[in-house]
Amino acid sequence: MVFTDLYSGIGFSMWMRATCLMDLNIQVETPFIFMLRPRSGWHQWIGREQYLLKPSVQSVEFTDPLGNLCQRLVAPPGRFSVQTSFDVETADNSDTAPGAPFVEVQQLPADTLPFLLPSRYCESDRFTQLAFSIVAGQMPGYDQCSAIVDYIRRTIQYTPGAGQLIISAWEVKQQTQAVCRDMAHLAIACCRALSIPARLVVGYYENLQPMDLHAWFEAYVGGRWYAFDTTQSSMQGGRIVVAYGRDAADVAIYTQFGEPVEILNMEVTLDRISAPS
């Protein structure tokens, strides 16, 4: 199957296989919500998927208010494993659009408006002065987002594994190193301070080293969402989106209720594969 980008009219067809294995040590019967299943959309098509729970337990899937697929279950005490595998058709790079214009707030689609507001980890109401200083002289819209990404890449070193605790954009601003999620929070806060809708994205990115689940952000300019990545020098490389959110509070790959659980092992892979025959 070959898809056409709804906005640029360019056909694309690249297949990737994403896998995630998570082993947890659970002390007592624990309710969970997982967010590990990508959904098909204009930017990707899920051709094959596998979702295994060991031991097997009843799971109910629902769609959250942001459109993400969530799996709800109760895990028994002991070792509990979640293993997923997906074959996905997607593009080999993310669209870029230098010069794409700013969209006036009164012209924005209603479903973008929540991504203008301050949120738990993106306190955009505190970033107006910084944001406008970063984008001084830039054309409103896409070019402002690019300037924000460049500023973050210059001032904060991307350090995988450096941040186990989620911190807010305001806290990130005080750091000299951070993980992808926290750097994206800072970019989102600055975009929203300029009245540009911005949202956090969690998924897979093929050029990531070491391989893990990854976070980047999208901004709404020029009448559509565009991806930006504060950890990368270009937007080359295939991506698979798992979830969208206002910030990390919306896109946790799992949420447990009750006593903490221990992650014994987590393995993530992403590889290009041949197209299904």
pLDDT of residue 164: 72
Q: How high is the pLDDT of residue 5?
A: 38
Mean pLDDT of 52-64: 97
Average pLDDT over residues 165-181: 94
Q: What is the pLDDT of residue 162?
A: 76
What's the whole-number mean pLDDT along residues 163-171? Answer: 88
Asked if pLDDT for residue 181 goes beyond 80, the answer is yes
Domains present along the chain, CATH in parentheses: 3-91+253-273 (2.60.40.2250), 105-236+243-248 (3.10.620.30)
**Per-residue pLDDT for 90 more than 50?**
yes
Token output for 83: 């293993």
Q: Is 101 exposed, middle or buried (0-12, 13-18, 19+ CB in 10 A)?
A: middle
Whether 129 has a pLDDT exceeding 70, the answer reads: yes
∠ CA 46-95-8, nearest 5°, is: 85
- Per residue in 197-236, pLDDT tens? 999 999 999 999 899 999 999 999 999 999 999 999 999 9
pLDDT of amino acid 12: 57
Q: What's the pLDDT score for residue 180?
A: 96
- Interatomic CA distance for residues 71 and 62, integer angstroms: 7
H or E segment to which residue 90 belongs:
strand 78-90
> Residue 129: left (phi > 0), alpha (psi -120 to 50), or beta?
alpha
Is the pLDDT score of 245 beyond 70?
A: yes
| Contact by Cβ (8 Å): 187, 217 | yes
pLDDT of 1 > 80? The answer is no
Question: Which backbone phi and psi does 46 adopt, to 5 degrees?
Answer: -85, 110
CA–CA gap between residue 40 and residue 19 (Å, rounded) = 17
**What does the pLDDT look like over 95-122, one tens digit per residue?**
999 999 999 999 999 999 999 999 999 9
The whole-number average pLDDT for the span 243-255 is: 97
Residue 3 has pLDDT above 80, yes or no: no
Task: Tell me if 162 sits within 8 A of 181, measured CB to CB.
Answer: no
pLDDT in tens, 266-276: 999 999 999 88
Quick one: pLDDT at residue 6?
Answer: 37
112 closest CA partner among 146, 66, 144: 66
Across the strands, what pairs with 21?
Answer: 83, 267
**What was the pLDDT predicted at 10?**
39
Which tokens go with 69?
């697929």
